[in-house]
Amino acid sequence: MASVRHLISIDDLDDADLYALVTRGAEFSAGTAGRPAPLADDVVGVYFRKTSTRTRTAFSSGALRLGARIIAYGPGDLQLNTGETSEDTGRVMSGMLDVIVARTAGDPAELRAWAAQERMAVINAMSADEHPTQALTDLTTLHRQFGRVEGLRVLYVGEGNNTASALCLALTRFPGVEFELRTPPGYGLAPYYRERAGEQAARYGAVFRECHDMTDLPVGLDVVYTTRWQTTGTSKPDPDWRAVFAPFQVTEALWEAGPKAVFMHDLPAHRGDEVTAEVLDGPASIAFQQAENKMHSAMAVLEWCRT
């Protein structure tokens, strides 16, 4: 029986795993990974409680390409809805599935409960606090674009959401990275991620900063990154939140500080909100290569889970 590894947080990966997953995702992306079928005897469950275009398709297509068969569950399908516990759900599924890819958009403790067994790998396809497979996709994309992650200067503009949190945990483990976030006041990183990123940056020789305005932006950037203002599965109680976010729109003016920077976006995008159409559809944008890399990175994760 193959061993099982879970991916619920970037924190679950040691440095060797993190670097290997990024490198392997880039190999799948470049077409140099061969045609391995490590999941040929496996059945993969794909459970999405919230909407998804990219992540669900990436893991489904990736699993099929690696030889697996798939069972897909929608938000209304499991007895979780009628009160069965997460522990019982994980225990039962682990007798029938080899991997479960789950977007709960909720408390990651639910996924930890599913992972309290040793037969079925559990992959977090986005919980409320973190989107770890997005961060692996993003680093895979950086590796493809620049040939490295070390030493890159990255500016993240927008909400300190689950994508930003996972990115913080991953990027600050690469020496020489300068990672700066500009988050709207009241919409910054959760304290755990801010503190962890600062501690990691100090340990790995990276730089990490978070500010809440758009003045004195860093220069010489390699990457400008944003996410949509209405993160999947969330809403904002403040009826005036758009006024707080408005100064954080990514426009072409940002390229005055870093004319060579590429633009990244985890998608889906709302042109005219977090980014202008000129930027998203312009020459600096690699957002759609990034989206395709979700599948290549998913294949690296699935392979890693089962070997």
Contact set with ligand CP (CB under 6 A): 52-55, 126, 134, 232, 266-268
C-beta of 46 vs 262, nearer to ligand CP: 46
| Minimum distance of ligand CP from residue 127's CB (angstroms) | 12
C-beta of 126 vs 201, nearer to ligand CP: 126
Question: Would you give the DSSP letter of residue 155?
Answer: E
| Residue written as token pair 């682990």 | 94
| Minimum distance of ligand CP from residue 33's CB (angstroms) | 22
253-275 CB burial, b ≥16 within 10 A, e <16: ebbeebeebbbbbbbebeeebbb
| Minimum distance of ligand CP from residue 188's CB (angstroms) | 20
Among candidate residues 18, 3, 12, the one with its CA nearest the CA of residue 112 = 12
CA dihedral (124, 127, 129, 134) in degrees, to 10, reads 50
State how far the Cα of 159 lies from the Cα of 161, in Å rounded to an integer. 5
Residue 20, phi-psi category: left (phi > 0), alpha (psi -120 to 50), beta (remainder): alpha
| Residue written as token pair 């950037």 | 221
C-beta of 42 vs 266, nearer to ligand CP: 266
C-beta of 140 vs 232, nearer to ligand CP: 232
| Minimum distance of ligand CP from residue 298's CB (angstroms) | 11
| Minimum distance of ligand CP from residue 70's CB (angstroms) | 16
Pairs from 53-57 (Cβ < 8 Å, separation ≥ 24): 53/267, 53/268, 54/267, 54/291, 54/294, 55/103, 55/125, 55/126, 55/133, 55/134, 55/294, 55/298, 56/103, 56/125, 57/294, 57/295
232 and 195 in contact (C-beta within 8 Å)?
Answer: no
Question: How many C-beta atoms lie closer than 10 Å to residue 160's C-beta?
Answer: 22
C-beta of 72 vs 202, nearer to ligand CP: 72
| Minimum distance of ligand CP from residue 290's CB (angstroms) | 9
Question: Would you give the DSSP letter of residue 290?
Answer: H
C-beta of 190 vs 267, nearer to ligand CP: 267
| Minimum distance of ligand CP from residue 53's CB (angstroms) | 4
C-beta of 105 vs 261, nearer to ligand CP: 105
